[in-house]
Structure 1
Amino acid sequence: MATLTLIPAKGCSTRLPRKNILPLGGKPLLAWAAEAARRAGVCGRIIISTEDEAVAAVAREYGIDVPFLRPAELGCDPAGVVQVALHALQTLRTQGEEYKRMIILLPTSPFRTASDIAEAVALFDTKQAKFLLSVSAFDHTPFAAMKLEDGVVSPWFPEYFGRKSQEMPSAFRPNGAIHVLDVAAFEAAGSYFGQPLYAYEMPWPRSLDIDTVADLQMAEAVLAAGLVSWPV
């Protein structure tokens, strides 16, 4: 199956400027994604999509293909990963390239492993899926959430109020590490949340997502503690 692996790496990040090229363990975040993709052995063509020449230069320094620079409007909100991925497919199509499967790896999930990618793709194939994403369990169950109104708190889910966490339903969140998509289904839906949406479960810290300075500091602490290592 012709596979395109996309690493979206915009330069226009609001909370953590140019976060996709910030160093972690001596390597820029986008290099972590590319290395895992190469080692997975299932990723086909691996490319970076960015609107930022500085990001593109770092990607090329690490041997990552940057076949185009996307339009500036796809580098800032409200444009999201879906629009970036559709643009990549359409741009490469004009260059005579067609793909049946797409893998999306966000640089901000540096601790996903090559095995995670290979196992997610294997699950995608086994299920004959059209849409698959990686998930992780919530650190704190959302069913214990409280709402605050006029200084008064009350439970969002009264039926679970006062219960122990182990008595509440399991809950998972998308962690942004891996999307595997059937290209035709993805383009038709215009979303990577099409149904049925299969899940590949990942534990902490492999599901750590970097969006703030505190997240980056946490990732460095994880490395220093030896909980993960380079290469992933």
Structure 2
Amino acid sequence: MQYAAKRYAALAHRHGLDPWEAAAAAYDAMRAPSALRADDPWAIVTRAVQVTCIAEERAQGLLCSVHQARRRKISSYHDAERFSDRDHPLPEYHRAFRTDPVEPQNDVSPLPEVEPAIEDAIMLFTLLGWPSDRARSCVEYICSRLADASSRPSAFESLRRDYSARAHLDIPQPAWMSMLRALLGNCDPLHAHTAAGRGILLRLLIGEPLRALLRDDDLASDIVINAPGVRV
């Protein structure tokens, strides 16, 4: 045991352990049948001592048993730290609270095809019986909210519940919902690849002409029936 403690003293110190702890690990390894049958028994013992020293060091850092520290799932965690061990608060040094700074991009301009698409959408509603001033104010407001939203479905849900905007624009509920369905499309995933799921804005942006939208009977009838001031 004295020979084992001397032999593995450097390995033990490397992991913050006493040489006699390494000697105890060597003794356990010598008792294993694999060490007796091995061509190089000291290689088996040395590897067993190394694994035990690593597990002992991880167990001390993780505040758990050596048996648990041998598991890969547990050993992947970082050592336990007290909040008082550092001079600065946790959010100032932990990477989970870090965010990359976003540089302002003041020179970003809208895509050149967006403005024509908005104008064509306004023209479509005007041709189908909407007052031109209401059509413009509503379409521009919806497009501005769409630009700030994270996705088209989230914009649809937010605008659907935007009662103050609807009151400010003086648009009844059926007309408001008809415009949202027409501009943003049906957000149901089942309709994602259909004309009803794309919506007017997307169809215009991908190159579909205004006359093709006017020939869409389902779209046109929904806009005409729910136009402000129309009584069915």
* TM-score in same-fold range (> 0.5): no
Q: Which has the higher contact order (CA 8 A, sep 6+)?
A: 1
**Looking at CA atoms only, which structure, 1 or 2, has the larger radius of gyration?**
2
TM-score by length of 1: 0.28
Higher strand share: 1
TM-score by length of 2: 0.28
